Amino acid sequence: MKNITIRPARLEDASEILKIYEPYIKKTTITFEYEVPSLEEFRSRMTGIIGDYPYLVCEADGKILAYAYAHRFHERAAYQWDAELSVYVEEEHTGLGMGKALYHALMELLKLQNVKNAYALVTSPNERSEALHLGMGFRLEGLNRETGYKMGKWLDVSCFVKNIGTHECDPEGIKPFSEVEQTEVDRILEESVKLLKSVTEIKKDLDR
């Protein structure tokens, strides 16, 4: 029986997470990176996010199968209420709902941080990712045509956005993720596991 959980990532997870990310760099245009970062560089990137924004992993019996994180969308002060989301699932275990569960957890946690808008940049076409975002209430905000070059071709990038907070005047500032009540974090992560397409199905898939 597999114990499936969603939890905040730790720096010691960097090696496992990088192994999930690596094939996306080498085999796909989903990420615009050309070279796999070193473990030191990847750990440094995680350090720049953890504490400020949620960085989550989905694991089964201690093995990380997927991860997702949020980070600031743009640096200027007026953009502070915006966050960009990313999610990556181990190649062998896509289509089981882990991306959706992680995204749900990210957005619920971001609400507690006073984030108002969640953004996602998606290399197009990517039917699976586009369906995920539209199915979770994102809207297509725009398309940047031929904005990246990888694997011998120019690529379009779609910008998806979802409003996750009210846009009142004089909004409260952003609360660092490290200051969100742990009981609230635990509640959201437990709820998000229940949103997996089928925990039983995932357990069967992992036991094959």
Average pLDDT value for the chain:
94
The per-residue pLDDT for range 4-34, each reduced to its tens digit, is 999 999 999 999 999 999 999 999 999 999 9
| pLDDT more than 70, % of the chain | 94
Domain annotation for the chain: domains and CATH numbers: 4-207 (3.40.630.30)
pTM of the model: 0.93
Q: Which long-range contacts (CB under 8 A, 24 or more apart) does 72-80 make?
A: 73/117, 73/119, 80/173, 80/174
CA angle 41, 55, 85 (to 5 degrees): 95
> According to the model, what pLDDT value does residue 84 have?
98
Assign 86 a pLDDT band (cuts: 50, 70, 90). Answer: very high
Identify whether the C-beta of residue 165 lies closer than 8 Å to the C-beta of residue 85: no
Q: pLDDT tens digits for 144-201?
A: 999 999 999 999 999 999 999 999 999 999 999 999 999 999 999 999 998 885 555 6
Whether the Cβ atoms of residue 114 and residue 171 lie closer than 8 Å to each other = yes
